[in-house]
A and B are shown apart, each in its own frame.
Chain A
Amino acid sequence: MHRTTQLTLAAALLASFAFAPTAFAGEPNGQDLYKTYCKSCHAAGSAHGEYTPMTLIQDQWERFYKEKYAAKHATAQMPDGRKVLEAITPEMLAKIRKFSVDHAADSEQPMTCGK
């Protein structure tokens, strides 16, 4: 029992470290944030669907942020237990949004968020 608690704690610590924006040297950009937050649930083979910026076209991304993001993620939780809607602040979301639209499938430079 004792051992399990310790392990869980360690895992939580590790997870929170991995998801803390302080893990980046300097201000994280849209790509860093996308990779840290969104990719954790939307990598290839994910049960929630694979989403990289170039999965959708620009119109679809705009519609997603306007109409779907909040509803689809209302109950979703990060691996560290925080609610997605709280862990990702409005400032971070603005950067992620710009990154996904700028590199959408029909943009000049479609991109995944990298490995």
Chain B
Amino acid sequence: MTMRKLTGLALAGALASLPLAAAEPFSHKDAFEHYEGTRTCLACHEDEARAFHGSQHYQWKGSAPQLVGAGSKPLGKINTINDFCTGPAANWIGLVKNSRGDVVSKGCSKCHAGLGELPQAEPSQAQLENIDCLICHAKGYQRDLFEKPGGGFEWKPILWKNQEGLDSVSKRVGPPQRAMCLRCHSASGGGPNFKRGDIEYKLADTDRSYDVHMGKDGADFQCTSCHAGDKHRVRGRGADLAGTDSPANPLSCSTTECHGSAPHGEPMIDRHTARVACTTCHIKTFARDEATDMVRDWSKPKYDAEADRYAATITMQKDVIPVYAWWNGKTHAQLPGEAVKTQANGTVGMMVPDGSRQDPEARIFAFKLHKGRLPVLTDKKWIVPILVEHFFADGDIFSATRKAAEETYGIADAKFEWTDTERYMGIFHGVQPREQALQCLDCHGAKGRLDWKALGYGADPLLIRVTAKK
């Protein structure tokens, strides 16, 4: 054997052993003795904490280039209004109890990756210590809201009195797994699968027949397999979020990074991908495991005797067929402090995808169409968020709206009226095996699911093609 060959072999050996060494997970067993809050992690991970502090996940606002005409102001949950839980700024943290003394609400910070402080722009020590690393990184971690000794509230591990247990859980840190992301993403909007419809808790532990990507007998992807970006900036905004972590690094099924635009080797199907998004054919229905909130009418408070709490009137639906609309990646948003713009159907579009058949960048995507009824100021026509926390306990929607107008806009004794709203939410999860994909007649048949006229076609283009040939 020559020297050269040997070196080559050694190199190959070294290279082959590299990925193995890299895959060896780092154990935190001996990294620290006792977990004393985020401070413990900061000792070695201050860079990561600083990066996370600036993210959409922490700030709840970021650059929003995909919102049509929104300018350069950073936007996100913290300074916009939605038709689910309305606005977080006024409902941040606190315990609201019903007449029986049971807790009916803990505030919007329940879904913030912090320990209770509002996010601030400056990454001070207090802000870095406010980051809850464990909620995304530790298996078996759970937190709850507690009163602080000096007044106010904070989120703490439920094990805060059990140091041995807390040490064990906090040393289980590793890359985020599905169940950890789902702690927030499947419970948003007030209950299991209420908000999104396609990000169900079932994804924590599922099979390929439910989701080919995340099923254990499928690709067994983690959420991060698709969503991880550099430096704690996740990829993917969908169609109805405002600011984004990844304006320059979008996530899509049809880029070469994943499937490309002609994955079928079947020209009849591949010819569609320029105008029909992959998810449109591959996710036939959503909310397949648990029902999702389709209509939330805040004008009609409803008392739930079992929970002894008030809520908006919510219409739930399971196994829902999406609506279809053109989308070029941009969105028209109804922002607070701007007079509402009414769509052709008379409703206010909270988040409406931009695009049309004439727009070469647009494709037909699948959406959950969420309908709502929200208050608007009679004179200024601004949408008013609702102070939901008190409303949950007393059901007084009139004062909850008045108070909100005062807190949000500084307008006392506001006059308001009710308006119908619509939000288009992209459906991207729950891709089923290929046998379940939409068939030609699901769209081109007499009872097809596409409304050809609304999509800008005179009639079914296949029909036009066939009749033209005659």
Which of A's residues lie within 8 Å of B, judged by CB?
A: 54-57, 59-60, 105-108, 110
**Contact: B162 with A110, CB < 8 Å?**
no
- Beyond A105-B140, A107-B140, A110-B142, whether A57 also contacts B179 by CB under 8 A is no
**A54–B160 CA distance with the chains assembled, in angstroms:** 11
Q: Is the interface of B mostly helix, strand, loop or mixed?
A: loop
Cβ–Cβ < 8 Å partners of A55 in chain B = 161-162
Contact with A along B238-265 (1 / 0, CB 8 A): 0000000000000000000000000000
Given contacts A57-B140, A57-B169, A110-B142, contact A105 B179 (CB under 8 A): no
- When chains A and B are docked, how far (Å) is the Cα of A68 from the Cα of B259? 56
Q: B147 in the interface, Cβ–Cβ < 8 Å?
A: no
Q: Which of A105, A107, A108 contacts B162 (CB 8 A)?
A: A105
Interface string of B135-168 (1 = CB under 8 A from A): 0000111100000000000000011011011001
CB distance from A44 to the nearest CB of B (A): 12
Tell me if A57 and B168 are in contact (CB < 8 A).
yes
- Asked whether A108 lies within 8 Å of B179 as measured between CB atoms, the reply is yes
Most chain A C-beta atoms within 10 Å of own C-beta, residue among B140, B161, B165:
B165
| Chain B stretch 160-203: residues in CB contact (< 8 A) with chain A | 161-162, 164-165, 168-169, 179
Given contacts A59-B168, A60-B164, 6 further A-B contacts (CB under 8 A): A55-B162, A56-B165, A105-B159, A106-B169, A108-B179, A110-B142
Closest to A58 in B: B140
CB distance from A110 to the nearest CB of B (A): 5
Chain A residues, CB < 8 A from B142: 54, 105-106, 110
B residues 14-43 with Cβ under 8 Å of A? none
Instruction: Give Cα distance in the complex from A60 to B164, angstroms.
Output: 9
Residues of A within 8 A of B159 (CB): 57, 105-106
Q: Are A105 and B164 in contact (CB under 8 A)?
A: no
List residues of chain A with CB within 8 A of the CB of B168: 57, 59, 106
- Nearest CB in chain A to that of B140: its residue: A106
9 pairs of residues in contact across A and B, judged by CB atoms under 8 Å? A54-B142, A57-B162, A57-B165, A57-B169, A105-B140, A105-B162, A105-B165, A106-B169, A108-B179
- Cβ of B204: which chain A residues have Cβ within 8 Å of it? 108
* Nearest CB in chain B to that of A112: its residue: B158
Q: How far is the CA of A110 from the CA of B161 in the complex (A)?
A: 15
What are the nearest 10 A-B pairs in CB distance? A106-B140, A57-B165, A105-B159, A110-B142, A106-B169, A105-B158, A54-B158, A57-B168, A105-B165, A60-B165
* B140 neighbours in A (Cβ, 8 Å): 57, 105-107
Please report the C-alpha to C-alpha distance between residue A105 and residue B140 in the assembled complex, in whole angstroms.
7
Tell me the bound Cα distance from A56 to B204 in angstroms: 23
Chain B: CB-nearest residue to A61: B165
Distance of A48 from chain B, by nearest CB (Å): 15
Which of chain B's residues have a CB closer than 8 A to the CB of A59?
A: 168
Q: Establish whether residues B179 and A110, one from each chain, have CB atoms under 8 Å apart when the complex forms.
A: no
Q: A57-B140, A105-B140, A105-B142 are in contact. Are A110 and B158 (CB under 8 A)?
A: yes
CB A10 to nearest CB in B, in angstroms, measures 30
CB distance from B156 to the nearest CB of A (A): 12
Distance, CA A55 to CA B161, complexed state (A): 8
Which chain B positions have C-beta within 8 A of A56?
162, 165
CA distance A60 to B139 in the complex (A): 16
Residues of chain A with a CB closer than 8 A to B141's CB: 106
Of residues B141, B159, B161, which shows the largest number of chain A Cβ atoms within 10 Å of its Cβ? B159
Q: Are B179 and A106 in contact (CB under 8 A)?
A: no
Residue among A55, A57, A106, A107 facing the most chain B CB atoms (10 A cut-off): A106
* B179 contact set on A, CB distance < 8 A: 108
CA distance A56 to B140 in the complex (A): 12
Bound: A100/B161 CA distance, A: 18
A108 to chain B: closest CB distance in Å? 7
With A and B bound together, what is the CA distance between A107 and B162 in angstroms? 15
In the complex, residue of chain A having the shortest beta-carbon distance to the beta carbon of B100: A115
